[in-house]
Amino acid sequence: MEYTRFGTTDLLVSPMGLGCLRMSEQGGQVDDVESIATLRMAFDLGINFLDTSANYGQGHNHQLIASALKGSQDKVIVHTKSGSPRTPDSSGSRSGSSPEYLTRVCEESLQRLEIEPLDIFCMSRVDPDIPIEESVGAMARLVEEGKTRYISLSEASADSIQRANKVHPVVSLQMEYSLWSRDPEDANIQACRDHNMGFMAYSPLGRGFLAGQFRALSELDEGDARLSSPRFQPENFQRNLQLLAQLEDLAKDKSATLAQLALAWLMAQGKDIIPIPGAKSRKHLEENFRAIEIELTPEDLARLDEIMPPGAASGMRLTGEQLSRVNI
C-alpha cells in the first residue's frame, strides 16, 4: 500500500482513513469490544489515519481510541475535531469557533486521547460571527504551546481557507464529498491545492446509501437522522435509487461492491483526496479496505461521471437549518 504525504506535513497517511463516529453514536447499539477490534484490525491492515471528534459520544470516542491505540501511538495519526457546543436538541451550533472553546476542547482531547501533542486539531465549523483570523490565531497558539502539531478546518469556504492560511498554515480541509455530493469540486478542492493542503472526504458513501445498505425507507430505524435528510424524502429517495441501479451495473463489471466502487472513485480523484468511511465492524472495514485494490480506467471514470455528474442527486445533502451552520 502506497502512503501519501499529507499536505505540507511530515505525516505519511494511508490512501484511506477510518471515520470513528459510528463507534460511539448515530449507528445503533454501541459495542466497544467490536469497535476496538475494528480499530486494531485497521492498524494491522496498514490504515494509519483516524478521524474523530470531541463531540462523538461526548468523549466516549476519544476514550475508545485511546484504549485501541495502546502500544501503537507512534504508528497511527489521529485527526480530531473540536465539535460544537451542544444545543438542547443536540444539533450543535457554530459557536465552537471561539478561542476559549477551541483551547478548552484541545486540552480535553489531549487528556482523553492520551496523546501529546495531538497530531492534527481541526475546527469543526466556521462561525460567521467570529472572524476566522481569531479562531485560527487561537489554534496557532496551541501549536506554539506544543499541544497540537498541525491544525485543520472542516466545511470551510475557499475564502475562509485563504484567510486562515494568512494567519497560520492549515494542513487540510474536511468536507462531505462523494459521487452524490460533489460540491467541493466547485472551489474548495482547488483552494486546498493552491495551499498544498490535504482533503478529507467525509460521508464518502452517502450516509450508507451509496453502499446499497438499504433499498427502502422502511429499513431505517425510527428516529434515524437520515429520515430528515432531503435526499431521503420519499420522492427524492426513489429517484436516487434509479442512480444506484446504474452504479450497481458498473460495480458488477468491476467485480466490486457498491461501497468499493464509490471509494475507488474518490481515491481516483487525486492522491490528496483521502476518504474516511466509517466502520464499526471488522466486516465493513475489510470490505471498504479492498477498494484500495480497485483500479478504475479512464472509461470507468467517464461512465461514473455520466451516471452521477455534479448535481445528479435528488435533494440537498443537508436540511436548510444544517446548511446554515456550514461555511461553504
The residues assigned a catalytic role are 56
CA distance 302 to 309: 10
CA-closest candidate to residue 160, choices 170, 150, 151: 170
Residue with cell 450516509: 207
CB 170, CB 122: distance < 8 Å: no
Which strand (E) or helix (H) includes residue 148? strand 148-154
Residue 31 CA to chain centroid, in angstroms? 21
Cα four-point dihedral sign 160, 95, 52, 184: negative
Residue 107 CA to chain centroid, in angstroms? 22
CA-closest candidate to residue 118, choices 165, 65, 189: 65
